[in-house]
Chains A and B, each alone.
Chain A
Amino acid sequence: MIAELGHFLLILALATALYQFIVPQLGAARNDQSLMQSAIPAALSQCLLIAASFACLTWTYLVSDFSVVNVAANSHSQKPLLYKFTGVWGNHEGSMLLWVLILSLFGASVALFGLNLPLRLKARVLAIQSLIGASFLLFILAVSNPFLRLNPPPIEGNGLNPVLQDPALAIHPPFLYAGYVGLSIAFSFACAALIEGKIDAAWARWVRPWTLAAWMFLTGGIALGSWWAYYELGWGGFWFWDPVENASLMPWLAATALLHSATVVEKRNALKVWTVLLAIISFSLSLIGTFLVRSGVLTSVHAFAVDPARGIFILVILCTLIGGALLLYAWRAPTLAPGGLFAPISREAALVVNNLLLGCAAASVFIGTLYPLVLEVLTGDKISVGAPYYNLTFVPLMLPLLLLLPMGPLLSWKRAELWPALQRLWAAALTALAIAVLAAALARPGPWLAPFGIALGIWLIVGSLIELVERGRFAQLPLSVAWGRASGLPRSLFGMVAAHAGLGVMIIGIVAVTAWRQEIITAMKPGEVADIARYRISFTGDMPRSGPNYTAESGRFRISRGDADLGVLVSERRRFRPGDQTTTEAGIRHMLLGDLYVVMGDTAAGGGRVVRIYFNPLVSWIWLGAAIMVLGGLLSLSDRRFRIGVPRKQRLGLASAAE
């Protein structure tokens, strides 16, 4: 009954979405206030209908209703409650429903919170948002219905893939989807503005917070996914250049570029045509990501079961939305009024360089991800494009970006001098060099480039902070006075500083763990010890243990450094009852200077256990950096110019340089 209700609610949502696509557009064309106004209740009810439908699916999971195909295939009555709940989106059908739910949530929030939007623009934005929604609702109802029944129902379900039964992975998809789908707002705004034929600073001010929110979710989602891969897959790696990871990285790069170019539109009314294109591209990359992951064209770590019908359906949606938007762009973009001028050395130019490099980086990832597919179709050869490709393309494109990054915020708008900006960065350059020398002297031998990588991270952190220090005049004034000055600065400035410094922290983590990781693979019997990076690890033995839906062999390792006892790490091999699948739980001790990572393997040939031990220096800085970046996004989002919204005159000197 509940499943049928959910199905019915989805059909109603589709009807609402179609209404919301057609009627407000009609209203905008005829200048009919009430028709345009009707987009708002339509968006809200569409969201409520989908939410109710999602609740129905969740209910069938919670009560383990195995007469529903989706539940039978992906759940199990003995599964812990949390994973029954998160199992809703641990499969193709449910994850698509979540996708649409988040899409409608974003639509509803524009309807609710976009109070200062001109009605006509708002109606058009909601209409386009609803076109996306309607396409995917149609997809769900036609080829991916999560509410299909099964007769006769099985007594027990198949269970959720045990590697997915994990808290970080439970929240990873909602975050990532919120990021992917959040970019739909930028897309809808871009299309609406193209139809309206008007893009100005106000438009950028309305788009930017939505892009920022999407960017934050995307950053958080990618970081969570990589953290999960790090501790759950048992390889101790954090990024594998897997096609599905790339599918989330491409929209991230595009969204990052969009955030920066939208600033130029907002502050200087320039780069408008490019920004609109970027908004379309960002969401298109999200859609392509969805297509790549959901259609099964990639045999990936993440891809769900292959179903050609679904792939073709998504491909059609993809071509319609992206093709339509690009056609609209080709037709309408030339009519947009040209924007403000700027000199080759200026904040605008710096942001153009940022966009250029981010765009090329995204393109290199795009080619690396799709080339194997194209080649297989053309020649039948199967290849894999892995880390070596990206080290040769993505990394060299990011390096100049990171090097130039601290200079951008120090340049003034319109026209700037390079030399004064560089002079202000001497402290950052000096610190970075000193740390590079220190790193080269202290660290164990590694690639000669590694100390420079560390220096780059420091350059980013200190270079970003310089702006705050100077604006607060921490060097000249007493600390309390300077602090007072600094706290009066706009929050978006703090946001920018945090995001850039967070990137620096992340770079340091990535460089350190890539260059100086240590690894031991050895057979250990109980009582034996292994030494790694000043730590001693002694195997105290393994014993059986049983969890809620699995049995485990639980190996214990005592770690110590010198005379200091640092406690016990537990690494388990878990065997899950449904499906008889095994997972390995690594034992990890997170420390600021590096992680100890112990994985207990099979019984070794000569007795004992195969044990792999890693020391991953500074690896947690990667996720720490990501967290700081997200925090930066939050700070920027809470800036008063987004809350107040209406363009207004700002006090000179404060807001003008705030990102």
Chain B
Amino acid sequence: MSLTRKQKRLGLILSGLAVLGVAFGLVLYALSDSIVFFFTPAEAMARHMSEGTRFRLGGLVAEGSLKLEGTKVEFLVTDTEKSIPVTYEGQLPDLFREGQGVVAEGKLDAKGMFIADTVLAKHDENYMPKDVADALKKKGVWKEGESRGGSP
């Protein structure tokens, strides 16, 4: 067991590389498998998102589209170009409003209805998916809101 300093260092480096390799493999696998894409309704339609593929749908809640059915809610998410109906069971976040930005995570069903299991309306009431903001800016309907802080 009398290893030289060099051998010991080599052993240390090799075992370190082995752990790094495993970690890197895990990261690559996870990145190919568990990331979720973000689309606006127009993008989702253009890409023909298949039924059952998980993604994030971002846009504005269309004015007058919110319907309550027991504990279920239904609303339209729009990017002013296309819109997709969304259902969600549960309680909507505090900042959820018609005409405001929203991000829903879930999948499409056979009828083209987006079944969301998470709905996010961010703390910042000016929060809007950047795509939607860009799209709205192009159409000239963007209002520069007063910038107010989120949380630290």
Contact = CB atoms under 8 A, between A and B. Distances in A.
A299 interface: yes
Chain A interface residue number, banded: 35 or more
A583 interface: yes
Contacts of B27: 363-364, 367-368, 393
B31 A299 contact: no
Given A161-B123, A234-B94, A583-B94, A392 B19 contact: no
Contacts of B56: 382, 384
B138 interface: no
A61 to B, nearest CB: 14
B125 A581 contact: yes
A386 interface: yes
Interface of A: 73-74, 89-92, 95, 158, 160-161, 163-164, 169, 172-173, 176, 234, 293, 299-306, 338, 341-344, 352, 356-357, 360-361, 363-364, 367-368, 371-372, 381-386, 388-393, 396-397, 521-523, 573, 579, 581-584, 599, 601-606, 610, 612
Contacts, number: 171
Nearest to A582: B94
Contact of A606 (B19, B70, B95): B70
Contact of A301 (B11, B34, B68, B122): B122
Contacts of A176: 152
A352 B8 CA distance: 13
Interface stretch (B75-83, B85-93, B108-116): B85-93
Contacts of A90: 149, 151-152
B133 to A, nearest CB: 10
A360 B38 CA distance: 28
26 contacts: A73-B148, A90-B151, A161-B149, A163-B94, A163-B123, A169-B151, A169-B152, A234-B93, A293-B152, A300-B122, A301-B123, A305-B124, A342-B8, A343-B1, A352-B16, A371-B35, A383-B36, A384-B35, A384-B38, A389-B35, A521-B90, A579-B125, A581-B125, A584-B94, A601-B92, A604-B70
Contacts of A610: 71, 91
Contacts of A605: 68-70
A612 B23 CA distance: 39
A304 B37 contact: no
A252 to B, nearest CB: 17
A378 to B, nearest CB: 14
A155 to B, nearest CB: 16
Nearest to B37: A383
Given A352-B16, A383-B36, 4 more contacts: A169-B151, A384-B105, A523-B71, A603-B68
Contacts of A303: 124, 150
